[in-house]
Chain A
Amino acid sequence: MTAQTGLGAVAVLLLGIAAYVSLFASPPDAFQGEYVRIMYAHVPNAWVAYLAFAITFAASVLYLWKRRPAYDHLAHSATELGVLFTGLALATGSIWGRPVWGTWWTWDARLVTTAMLFLIYTTALLVRGLSDDPLRGARLAAVIGIVGFLDVPIIHYSVVWFRTLHQPASIAPGSLKIAPPMLLALMLSLLAFTVLFMYLLRLRTSLARLEAGGEMR
């Protein structure tokens, strides 16, 4: 069994445990009831999306600096996965928001920032695909990966101050506002999704490497 497959097996195992704990072993929320269980999928999706864009940023900087194709493969793969998980975070958030907030969508800061991220990185993929030369496409996508990531905090605060309603983050240092079994479910889900993401990222990166090798020949 290769390390790759091993990582995939760990991801599946962790996802199974996390699904059991979040769906059966943890109690319903006092206010949100059973809907809180959507959070155990929503929060990890959003976390993985942000993680993916952070990796895109780091890999893009390294690529423009060292010009080694491996960094570009990593940046490309992380962007794709980031867009996927951002889309999932937006969808699960909407599904949760409908019963709990009473609306599919609200003009809240984190929602708008996430939607903007989705657009910026989708466009980065578009620019890469529509570029007249794969090398240039890699460079242009790296530029967008850097500008986009540096812009995120400014976009976020500008949207926060424009108007906002989102509940404050549940896990703030010093003040834990969440029951231990629910925290366990959340932490397990976060771990499971992170391992899943690592697995998919490795898979996608090696595919990008193989594709690039195929084009050379």
Chain B
Amino acid sequence: MNGFLRAAAVARKDLRVEWRGRQTITATGMVALLMILLLGFVVGSEPARAAAILWVAMGFAAVLGIPRVTQGEVDQQALETLLLYPGSREHLFWGKCAALTVMLSALLVALLVLLGVLFGVDVWDHGGALVGVGVLGIVGLSVIGTLLAALVLHVRGRELLMPLLLLPLALPVVLGCVRLTEAILTGTAAGLWPAVLVSFDVVSVLVCPILFEVVMDEV
């Protein structure tokens, strides 16, 4: 069984557990929905604000959803078993990261539809580009998020630490996705933002799996 199949097995397991319980996607979806309704009401639902509100909501949904990546194993006391399976920890990382990417992408699609309804922005014509940009951001969020989910495992007050770690570190993703979503919706130039997202993704993809193995080490 090669590394790719191992990672796929982990991802399949995580997604199946999620599909049966649908806890993470429900909780993050509700938070994102609440953020969009609240921000839309408080700052106004002009189409120009849609991009910023969408990605603030995505950011908060990610903060809530990412600790769930490892929470299941902790609740069931299955983390040691998972770590004992043959193969590199890196495969475990990529499996969990892939499952998280799928979940956040599904959330993004749902939120884009909601945005089209609530903010009157034309998401239907630009659907492909909007999802494409979003997934570029979500990959970065998931890679760094998987590392952070493992990092806060053995720390007290991990629910408090996740936003403190994720929001500053993933700031470029949020800013980049806001500007790119605006650019797509208004038809203006994207500037250097794709480069920001790609460089964030590349740095995270190169560094996070290595650090994941360090974080997952037994004492």
Contact = CB atoms under 8 A, between A and B. Distances in A.
Contact of B172 (A64, A123, A146, A154): A154
B171 interface: yes
Interface stretch (B23-31, B83-91, B208-216): B208-216
A20 interface: no
Given A120-B169, A154-B196, A130 B157 contact: yes
A146 B179 contact: no
A70 interface: no
B189 interface: no
Contacts, number: 91
Interface residues on B, range: 20 to 34
B165 A144 contact: yes
Contacts of A120: 165, 168-169
B214 A131 contact: no
A150 B203 contact: yes
B219 A133 contact: yes
Nearest to B157: A130
Interface in B126-165: 144, 147, 151-152, 154-157, 161, 164-165
A116 B219 contact: no
B144 A116 contact: no
Main secondary structure of the interface of A (DSSP, over half): helix
Interface residues on A, range: 20 to 34
A155 B164 contact: no
Interface string A130-171: 111101100110111011101100110111011000000000
A127 B155 contact: yes
B175 A159 contact: yes
Given A143-B215, A155-B171, A132 B208 contact: no
A49 B219 CA distance: 31
Given A147-B169, A158-B196, 16 more contacts: A119-B164, A127-B161, A130-B161, A131-B156, A136-B219, A139-B214, A139-B217, A140-B151, A143-B147, A143-B211, A146-B211, A147-B207, A150-B203, A154-B196, A161-B193, A162-B179
27 contacts: A64-B214, A119-B168, A123-B161, A126-B161, A127-B151, A127-B152, A131-B155, A132-B154, A133-B219, A139-B214, A142-B214, A143-B147, A143-B211, A143-B214, A143-B215, A144-B165, A146-B211, A147-B147, A147-B169, A151-B172, A154-B172, A154-B196, A154-B200, A157-B172, A159-B175, A161-B193, A161-B196
